[in-house]
Chains A and B, each alone.
Chain A
Amino acid sequence: MAELLTPAILLSILSASVGAATIILLAALGELLTERAGIWNMGVEGTMLCGCLAAYVAMCETSSPITAAGAAMLAGVAAGLVIGFLTVSLKVDHFVTGLGFNLLASGLTLFLFRSYTAGGKPAGYATIDRWPIPFLSEIPGIGPILFNQHLLTYAALLLVPLVSVFLARTRPGLECRAAGENPEFLEAKGISVAKRQYGALLVGSALTALGGCFMMLAFANEFRPDISGGRGWLAIVAVIAGNWRPFRTMIAVIVFAVLDSLAVHAQGMGVAIPYQFFLMLPYAASILLLAVVRTRSGQPARLGIPFLRR
């Protein structure tokens, strides 16, 4: 392990972690919004996968990261609509819906990818560049870690306080939370629970898909089946372990991201421990985290319970 922890490598791991964290963080914030509105969306993995494929196709076609982000978010909204129709309108069990949606997304993205590449693989594209922030990125240590990142990483980090303020201080945020805590109260005030839940799902799913898009733009230049590799699930765990609070969720995300990057670096350096064990780390950590961090005080009271108007 000793050679793993030289300052230069540590720096590179941490810098990569912040990048890796962006993917999970975007999804986790999306899921947090959705869950606070009462929808226990288990379809994060599938939604992210849809975002990945949409971004990949858009990049291949236009080479424009902005178009890719737009396409991914549209795919996310579509995913949110499907999940919302089943959970909010049809009152199908939230877990069953999410599981079903993941299986659908896994099959459908694979099919669409194979159809898209049937006539030969597209040329692919270059991963996007970093946006170092002048001066700040030159601070030794923290500079390269925090301020030599992609634009979307800054945006994701900025979203943490924004989501926090949205939930705490704004009227729509308050109403979304009420939908997750006590929907009868909201209905008694003449406010539609379904509209708030659809809203949270659509925005949340768009963010999740944007996470998938970032993965395609910054880390991969080709789509693979199930490329999201469980990051959607890690996002769900981060929300639970973060007790449904944005900042704590971010901390859980960073734990996963560091473990994730550790695996990548260990593979590259030929550490004595087989790399597969490093790859297991985030998943093992997620179970451990849930078993150890057992505060669930922030869990919305009506999370995952379909709301039936009397």
Chain B
Amino acid sequence: MIAFERRESAGWIAQAIAYLLAIAAGLLASVVLITITGADVADGLGALWQGAFGDAEAIGQSLAAAIPLVFTGLATVVAFRAGIWNIGQEGQVFAGAMAGYWMSLQLAGAPAIVAVPAVVLASVAGGAAVAALCAVLKTRFDVNEIISTMMLNYIIVYLLSYLLAGGPWIEAGSTAYHQTPLIADTFRLPELFGLHLGAPLALLATAAVALVIGRTPLGFELRGLGFNPVALRYKGVRVATTIVMAMAISGALSALAGVSEVFGINFRLRAEVLNGLGYTGIIVGMIGALNPWGTLVAALAFGAMANGALYMSVLTDVPSALVPAMQGILLLFVLGAAVLTRYRLRFGRKDGRHG
């Protein structure tokens, strides 16, 4: 029998040790997975490392792969810190990319100084609107946000599929299926030091989320909501409004992931380039301990893993799918480890005092 005693607060050393143990256990489990494929473990992990950090180009690609994960990770942080289970990052990424693309069609021919901000704003509005819709469904109609955000993921993915496959956005005269034509130069995110505008934006967003959560009245309410909504209500905080605000911000952040992939890297809208960014963002945010800077670090690690996986799958027999499996395993171990920091576990009989 295990008894749980709530700890008042765990020391940061205990937290760090629990964390490191979880990550070590996750890596060990990944090694087991590689063994299953029959591949050489050292070769596999070596290739993964090489692909992620082998040379300057690899590092650049790893950073680029991390950018959207920073945004979706931060989207997770904002919602989960408020105790709102937004798992619609996937759909909100798509919605953001679609709204941005729509804006680029409306402003065809506009100079970059107008075009780029307009696209970013439109996409942010699109992502925020989808997320806010789920918040209203929750506060007004008592629809569980996990369900509504998840279902909207499917709906939005199909909507894009319609727009691209035979729909209005298909590339005329192209044999390529399911993608838009290339986006005009003026709409592309400008490049800085070999990375697109998304990189500084991601850093800025991390700082901004940290600032909002830590330093503003809204962030204050948001954190309070995650801890004790009852006490907030007793002190006159409008809980429903706070939920809508948190969701809108979360959706807006996810949308930026869509913008950076479509307008910063691929220059056309295709579902494949957006797939999984939202779901991975949930893992990134949770492994980042729902802390903006921790999330940044986790996103960098996950971006490197995703980038290295391609290289690994080419060089060895280990499929690139190792990476999502590894990430899932890491997440569960980190979740389990978090318990150790919240409770002090006592092993033994139910009640020692019985005679």
Contact = CB atoms under 8 A, between A and B. Distances in A.
- Asked if A and B form a direct contact in the complex, defined as CB atoms under 8 angstroms apart, the reply is yes
Interface of A: 42, 82, 85-86, 89-92, 95-97, 99-101, 103-108, 110-115, 118, 229-230, 233, 236-237, 240, 274, 276-277, 279-280, 283-284, 286-287, 290-291, 294, 296, 308-309
A56 to B, nearest CB: 15
B314 interface: no
27 contacts: A86-B332, A90-B336, A95-B146, A96-B286, A100-B332, A104-B325, A104-B328, A107-B321, A107-B324, A107-B325, A108-B328, A110-B321, A111-B321, A118-B319, A230-B150, A233-B147, A274-B162, A276-B158, A276-B162, A277-B158, A280-B158, A283-B151, A283-B154, A290-B144, A291-B142, A296-B142, A308-B4
A141 to B, nearest CB: 32
B contact face: mostly helix, strand, loop, or mixed: helix
B151 A103 contact: no
B42 to A, nearest CB: 18
A103 B331 contact: yes
B147 A286 contact: yes
A135 to B, nearest CB: 41
Interface in B306-350: 317, 319-329, 331-332, 335-336, 338-339, 343, 350
A115 B159 contact: no
Interface of A is mostly: helix
B332 A104 contact: yes
A95 B165 CA distance: 35
Contacts of A85: 336
A115 B325 CA distance: 12
A287 B328 contact: no
A111 B319 contact: yes
Interface of B: 2-4, 33, 36-37, 85, 87, 137, 141-144, 146-148, 150-152, 154-155, 158-159, 161-162, 165-167, 279, 282-283, 286, 317, 319-329, 331-332, 335-336, 338-339, 343, 350
Contacts of B321: 107, 110-111, 113-114
A119 B274 CA distance: 29
Given A229-B154, A294-B141, 16 more contacts: A86-B335, A91-B4, A97-B335, A99-B146, A103-B328, A107-B321, A107-B326, A233-B150, A276-B158, A276-B161, A279-B158, A280-B158, A287-B147, A290-B141, A294-B142, A296-B142
Contacts of A104: 325, 328-329, 331-332
A296 B144 CA distance: 12
Contact of A99 (B85, B329, B336): B85
